[in-house]
Structure 1
Amino acid sequence: MSSIDRRAVLRALVATSGALSALQFPAVARAEAADAAPAASAASAASAGWTVQTMEAFADTLIPGERRFAGDLAIAGAVTGPGAVQAGVISTLTSPDLPLAPVLPEIAALLNARAIAYAATHLILLPLTSPAFVGLSFGHRTALVRGLFGPEDPDRAIWQVLSLLTGLAFDTAAHLDTRQALTTGHPGLAWLDFPQPDPDGLWRFPTYSYGRALAAPHPATTASGSPA
């Protein structure tokens, strides 16, 4: 990519922020965008692969997990157990309900440009066979990402939206139907000990979180629980 169109990226982020409500919880299960259509060419496939690796590495820095296979470069393997990547972060980022997928290559290019600058200032030799950010160790990835959220960073909004979506992928299984996510053992919901539904498939919470009702319902409250 010869240039990074920050305006296009920011427009997509604004649209994404407005479209987050489209990620229904539960939502309809979807396959990852990489399975939706074959790559147009070997070059485009390689480019898409680098974008996915970069986004996975970013998400793994925020919510780390263990490597999926020997030689897994995107996941640094800083912890044991599943993290954001195993929780389906790529499916969330490429959800058809969000307008983010077309600009992910731009965002990946921006993050890799930051990684190259970081490596230069820290005298780190990066490999040529993987994206620059992926080539950093977990410690250096963490240090770089920490700086991206600083108030002086011009692209802070980009990283904030990505971190929000990373959290949604792990904490809510945003790209999956909630019942399906529980049935298949979604790692984030399992880690949170998310409750199973009642036999009819609905969730009810008869026990108040504070151990008592905080207020009596308004007499005009509808049968569905909607306020008067």
Structure 2
Amino acid sequence: MQPGDNDRVRAKTLTIEAFADTIIPGEKRSPEDRAVAGAAAGGGAVAAGAMELLEQPGGGLAPTLEALALGLNAHAEQYADEQGVTLDGDVPAFVALPFAHRTALVQRLTAPDHPEKPMWVGLALFSNMAFDSAAHMNTVEAFASTHPGLIAIGYFRPNAEGLFEFDEFSYGRPLSPIHPHTTPMGDPA
């Protein structure tokens, strides 16, 4: 690592986490937590693993996260100047914004007429995905770790064997008779 790399990584992480927390708010991880504003009870996008999902290479955003954080902080500085908000220089500009101002800025950046809308909406979608589906985790492991999104949404939990099986038909009755040659695993004979 080069000198200053830790500061850049910290600024990127704090900023992206603050953005994810603005999309799906949660409670602070500790009293010193600056990225998570604590605007909602329970775990939000950050606790659900938004940063872990965004850093995976398969999503395509990992190489852009530092640039996105820099851009978001530039927008936050401009927004703070416009709104007369004094920013704490100990954290990146977006992180320093009060939650209501973070929300207003994200609304501006994701508005239909904003020229950068696609990249901010993409970042928001991944934040949602981490919460709504635990896309970066095995679903059984997500339940074992009490993933806040899956629990809040009410996903059906796996059984003791780790399988997602339903004891009852979703419509309360079978929709058609099972073919007599269907195997016990449900495959056609």
Common fold, TM-score beyond 0.5?
yes
Distance 2:34 2:3 in 1: 20
Number of residues of Structure 1 aligned to a counterpart in Structure 2: 185
Q: 1:67 to 1:200 in 2, by over 3 A?
A: closer
Residue 25 of structure 2 corresponds to: 64
Structure-2 residue corresponding to 1:150: 111
Partner of 1:93: 54
TM-score w.r.t. structure 1 length?
0.73
Alpha-carbon spacing, 1:203–1:114, altered in 2? closer, same or farther (3 Å): same
SS in 1 for 2:96: coil
**What are the ranges of 5 or more consecutive residues in structure 2 without an aligned counterpart?**
none
**Larger Rg, first or second structure (1 or 2):** 2
- Residue in structure 2 matched with residue 136 of structure 1 by the alignment: 97
User: Mind listing any 5+ residue stretches in structure 1 that lack a counterpart?
Assistant: 1-39
Specify which structure has the bigger relative contact order, considering alpha-carbon pairs within 8 angstroms and separated by 6 or more residues. Answer: 1
TM-score by structure 2 length? 0.87
The yes-or-no answer on 1:54 pairing with 2:21 is no
CA apart distance, 1:98 = 2.5
How far residue 225 of structure 1 moved from its aligned partner, in angstroms, is 7.1
Once residues 170 and 42 of structure 1 are traced to their aligned partners in structure 2, the CA distance between those partners, rounded to angstroms, is: 34
- Pick one of 138, 143, 149 that aligns with 1:177: 138
3-state SS in 1 of match to 2:76: helix
Question: Alignment identity in percent?
Answer: 43
Query: Runs ≥4 in structure 1, deviation > 3 angstroms?
Result: 205-213, 222-226
- The residue type equivalent to 1:169 in the other structure is A
RMSD after superposition: 2.3
Q: How does 1:63-212 map to 2 (within 5 A)?
A: 63-212=24-173
CA deviations over 1:199-227 (Å, ceiling 9, x no partner): 433212354444456x649x8xx97879x
Structure-1 separation of matches of 2:173 and 2:3: 61
